[in-house]
């Protein structure tokens, strides 16, 4: 669980999530929140693992590009988080109009990444936070996604090709890992009727978005290269928690 002596900025982010259904956490604050729960000692190797993601074959069928890896974890009543067997990612078409109602198999998160110090810290932090928000829940299904969205001069990258959406879970963390030579990529938060509630840009490693998925919808604007002659990408870790699983 989270430590009781949270700093004012972190308390503010938690209160915003409770009050508004979403919150933006600056990198410095997020680092402190994470370090309450463990170490980031292997961060460089963790971030470097985005260079070894596999293609998203389902998105490629629509002429779009995205690289990713995926993993599933479970957290029980005692708060012990364990990685589950490799399995598909599934969303109904109610939540994903582009790729819903199919089992999607992606390359698994590498063992050294999925079992590493940083991943463990992130998952414990999320568990402490989301259990604090939903104390009656004693078990969670956790899905973890590594995403790289590439952008080219003639082909902007689409972080959320399904558009403004819900993920069909309870809570979501989006953690910035790296932005390389890109513009835009602004996160937008909407009410169920489409009204814009807020927007912000994850610009620095460890900037984070927290989302109460049952209450609000979210999306991210396309990214374009600042210098069209150089590689451009947006790397994020997305962690979702669903009660019971």
CA gap 41, 117 in Å, rounded: 7
Alpha carbons 243 and 245: distance in angstroms, whole number: 6
Asked whether the predicted pLDDT for residue 1 surpasses 60, the reply is no
Please state which of the ranges 59-73, 168-182, 191-205 shows the lowest mean pLDDT: 59-73
Helix (H), strand (E) at residue 19: helix 8-20
User: What span, in angstroms and rounded, lies between the C-alpha atoms of 164 and 58?
Assistant: 19
pLDDT given at position 159: 77
Predicted local distance difference test score (pLDDT) of residue 64:
55
Q: pTM score, two decimals?
A: 0.91
User: Which two structure tokens, joined as six digits, stand for 244?
Assistant: 């019971």
Contact 135, 110 (CB under 8 A): no
Residue ranges and CATH numbers for the domains of the chain are 8-243 (2.60.120.620)
Q: What pLDDT digit, counting tens, does each position of 82-126 carry?
A: 999 999 966 556 544 545 458 878 999 999 999 999 999 999 999
Rounded Cα–Cα distance for residues 16 and 132 (Å): 14
At a CB cut-off of 8 Å and minimum separation 6, what does 79 contact? 1, 127, 131
Collapsed DSSP state (helix, strand, coil) of residue 13: helix
């Amino acid at each position: 669980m989270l430590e009781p002596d949270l700093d004012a900025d972190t308390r503010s982010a938690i209160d915003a999530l409770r009050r508004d259904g979403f919150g933006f956490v600056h990198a410095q604050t997020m680092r402190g929140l994470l370090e309450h729960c463990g170490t980031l000692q292997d961060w460089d190797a963790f971030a470097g693992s985005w260079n070894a993601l596999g293609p998203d074959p389902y998105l490629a069928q629509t002429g779009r590009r995205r690289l990713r890896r995926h993993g599933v974890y479970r957290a029980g009543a005692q708060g012990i988080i364990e990685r589950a067997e490799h399995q598909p990612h599934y969303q109904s078409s109610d939540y994903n109009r582009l790729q819903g109602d199919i089992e999607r198999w992606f390359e698994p998160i590498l063992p050294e990444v999925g079992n590493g110090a940083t991943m463990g810290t992130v998952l414990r932090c999320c568990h402490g936070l989301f259990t604090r928000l939903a104390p009656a829940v004693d078990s969670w299904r956790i899905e973890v996604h590594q995403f790289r969205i590439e952008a080219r001069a003639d082909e902007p990258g689409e972080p959320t090709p399904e558009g403004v959406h819900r993920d069909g879970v309870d809570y979501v963390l989006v953690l910035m890992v790296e932005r390389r030579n890109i513009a835009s990529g602004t996160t937008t938060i909407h009410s169920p009727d489409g009204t814009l509630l807020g927007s912000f840009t994850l610009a620095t490693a460890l900037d984070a978005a927290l989302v109460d998925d049952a209450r609000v919808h979210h999306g991210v604007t396309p990214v374009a290269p600042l210098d069209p002659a150089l590689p451009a990408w947006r790397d994020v870790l997305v962690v979702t928690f669903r009660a019971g699983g």
